[in-house]
């Protein structure tokens, strides 16, 4: 493991100090530290936060670095799903190469942990998963990658998909995924019973994409909460998007959030600019573990996005109408320390004893750093420098 003396930095925006890293962990924080024989990095008085956490993305989808894709379609969710499933192979979307590009760009921009969903469907089998598993192995030590086996094209409506999810979990996926059990499968009981049983079989967490609007989404959320409680899966269930938490009446939202917090279900938000998104402040105030993510980046669904959690934080901040410094600090925490907790990574902080997964940021204060569009001066993973001045130490294919 790695030793490093990081000098001249401001931990969490506080006064200038040094951080001594021993065996990949933060050993000391203080002024004027000395450690003979240990490599030194000068942080240039930059801010230091726990590494950024990408809590919801799709490493298997991006066209980043490929020729411009002009075939994007409009239409409803099903059209986007079908277009992607049909276009992947003709487009030459090599999942290992593309997920390497995507993950390395995230490293360059200060991310130390990724939770990615990977499509599992009856057309592609486990081939997309295999590409992302290769990437996880190639980037071991540079970034941590959690993989969700994600039934993007539906579960109950596509017989054979459940067996593939089972095989994906056996092959190395970490988390059982789900998707709109009511609107996609029109069989919420069927899908939820199946994925909760699979999670129990593999002793794995669950992460469900829930785009369902209004009362339909609230109904599905209640079914998820019932199962979380009945099966004792508190702290191991996540719901992505949860648009309904911005669509049903305020008293209903409040009651749902209270129950989500009590059952320790995490919510992942992308601050989707063209959707209703749950209030970040309301969720955090309710005590819900919340993470944020970029979702798909320049994929067959849409041309937008950057592989950069600070870019995404600004989108989430604008969507939530944040103005005050404490709101921007809450946002940065949700993109780093609190975001890690939302994906089951405890103790992600700039404190003695924590893993030395650190991101340096330019800026006068934490709030200022959120709005600045500057390269990250330094990114450290397990005590090793993995990116410098916006460039990862490993080259993308
Ligand atoms: Zn997604």
Q: How far is the CA of 18 from the centre of ligand 1 (A)?
A: 38
Q: How far is the CA of 82 from the centre of ligand 1 (A)?
A: 15
Q: Is the dihedral of CA 285, 264, 221, 210 positive or negative?
A: positive
Mean pLDDT of 1-12: 94
Q: How far is the CA of 148 from the centre of ligand 1 (A)?
A: 11
pLDDT of 1 above 70: no
E strands, 69-227, in order: 111-119, 144-150, 175-179, 206-210
Instruction: Report the first-to-last Cα separation within the chain, whole angstroms.
Output: 27
Q: How far is the CA of 12 from the centre of ligand 1 (A)?
A: 30
Mean pLDDT of 99-123: 98
pLDDT of 250 above 70: yes
Q: Could you report the per-residue pLDDT of 24-71, keeping only the tens digit for each?
A: 999 999 999 999 999 999 999 999 999 999 999 999 999 999 999 998
Q: How far is the CA of 379 from the centre of ligand 1 (A)?
A: 26
Instruction: Kindly write down the DSSP assignment for every residue of 326-361, as one continuous string.
Output: HHHHHHHHHTTHHHHHHTT----SSSTTSB--EEEE
Q: Could you report the per-residue pLDDT of 190-235, keeping only the tens digit for each?
A: 999 999 999 999 999 999 999 999 999 999 999 999 999 999 999 9
Instruction: Kindly write down the DSSP assignment for every residue of 178-210, as one continuous string.
Output: EE-TTTTTS-HHHHHHHHHHHHHHHT--EEEEE
Round the average pLDDT of the chain to a whole number and report it.
97
Q: How far is the CA of 92 from the centre of ligand 1 (A)?
A: 21
pLDDT of 378 above 70: yes
Q: How far is the CA of 9 from the centre of ligand 1 (A)?
A: 35
Residue with tokens 């129950």: 259
Asked whether the whole model's pTM tops 0.75, one would answer: yes
Tokens of 337: 């320390």
Q: Are strands 358-361 and 290-292 parallel, antiparallel or unpaired?
A: unpaired
The predicted structure's pLDDT at residue 76: 86
């Amino acid at each position: 493991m790695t030793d490093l003396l990081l000098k001249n930095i401001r931990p969490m925006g506080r006064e200038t100090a040094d951080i001594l890293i021993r065996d990949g962990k933060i050993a000391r924080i203080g002024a004027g530290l000395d450690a003979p024989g240990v490599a030194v990095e000068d942080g240039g008085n930059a801010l230091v936060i726990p590494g950024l956490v990408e809590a919801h993305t799709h490493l298997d989808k991006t066209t980043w670095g490929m020729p411009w894709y002009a075939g994007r379609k409009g239409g409803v969710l099903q059209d986007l799903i079908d277009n992607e499933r049909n276009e992947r192979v003709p487009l030459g979307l090599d999942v290992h190469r593309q997920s390497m590009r995507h993950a390395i760009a995230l490293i360059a921009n200060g991310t130390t942990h990724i939770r990615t969903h990977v499509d599992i469907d009856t057309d592609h089998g486990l081939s997309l998963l295999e590409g992302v598993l290769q990437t996880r192995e190639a980037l071991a030590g540079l970034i941590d990658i959690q993989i969700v086996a994600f039934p993007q094209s539906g579960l109950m409506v596509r017989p054979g998909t459940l067996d593939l999810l089972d095989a994906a979990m056996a092959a190395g996926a970490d988390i059982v995924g789900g998707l709109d059990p009511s609107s996609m499968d029109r069989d919420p009981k069927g899908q939820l019973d199946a994925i909760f049983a699979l999670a129990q079989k593999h002793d794995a967490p669950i992460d469900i994409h829930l785009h369902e609007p209004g009362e339909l989404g609230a109904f599905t959320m209640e079914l998820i909460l019932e199962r979380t409680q009945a099966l004792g899966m508190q702290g191991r269930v996540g719901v992505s998007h949860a648009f309904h938490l911005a669509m049903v009446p305020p008293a209903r939202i409040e009651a749902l959030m209270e129950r989500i917090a009590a059952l320790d279900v995490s919510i992942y938000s992308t601050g989707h600019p063209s959707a209703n998104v749950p209030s970040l402040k309301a969720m955090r105030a309710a005590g819900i573990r919340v993470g944020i993510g970029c979702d798909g980046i320049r994929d067959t669904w849409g041309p937008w996005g950057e592989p950069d959690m600070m870019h995404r934080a600004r989108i989430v901040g604008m969507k939530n109408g944040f103005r005050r410094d404490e709101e921007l600090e809450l946002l940065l925490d949700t993109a780093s320390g609190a975001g890690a907790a939302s994906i089951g990574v405890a103790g992600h902080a700039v404190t003695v004893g924590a893993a030395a997964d650190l991101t340096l940021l330019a800026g006068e204060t934490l709030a200022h750093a959120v709005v600045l569009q500057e390269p990250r001066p330094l990114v450290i993973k397990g005590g090793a420098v993995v990116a410098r001045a916006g460039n990862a130490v490993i080259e993308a294919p």
